[in-house]
Amino acid sequence: MALINWDDSLSVKVGSIDNQHKKLITMINDFYDGIVKGSSTESLVKLVAAMKNYTVEHFSHEEGVMQKVGYPDFPAHKKQHEMFVAKVAEVEEKTKSGKLVVSVELTNFLKDWLKNHINIVDKKYSEYFIKNGIK
Ligand code: FEO
């Protein structure tokens, strides 16, 4: 069962970014499934590494757009991103060291964080991005 499902309530109304959020959600679900199914540490490490890399890629894209359009809330938003990347790195570390029980808790944290971030922080740029022609 998926840990988190994407639906229209999570849309920031910018298609390219919605697609990236969908991919991130899929990756969190895959990682969670791996833990629940008791996948090997090697396989979980691969999943979490891919999730971390994609998270960095997505944040970098979003931040690039913010800078391009002069989004006023850029510094505070970037700080949120940095905190999340640190958390994903923590999950990666705990996965590598085999502390999977803790990783389940952290996976729930990641899910809640991402959902709240999209709903509260990302949605704030929606209108600004659209007004500046970002699709
Ligand atoms: Fe979509 Fe600010 O992360």
Query: What domains can be seen in the chain, in order of their start residue?
Result: 11-131 (1.20.120.50)
Q: What is the pLDDT of residue 109?
A: 87
Taking residues 112-129, report their average pLDDT: 96
Place of tokens 């979490």: 48
Chain CA centroid to CA 55, Å: 5
Taking residues 19-37, report their average pLDDT: 93
Query: What number does the ligand 1 atom closest to the CA of 20 have?
Result: 1
pLDDT at 102 over 70: no
Q: pLDDT above 90 covers what percent of the chain?
A: 71
Kindly tell me the burial class for residue 83, based on how many C-beta atoms sit within 10 Å of its own C-beta (0-12, 13-18, 19 or more).
Answer: exposed
Are the beta carbons of 32 and 24 closer than 8 angstroms? no
Handedness of CA 103, 115, 11, 72 (dihedral sign): negative
pLDDT at 5 over 80: yes
**How far is the centre of ligand 1, averaged over its atoms, from the C-alpha of 109 (Å)?**
16
Cβ(122) – ligand 1 distance below 6 Å: yes
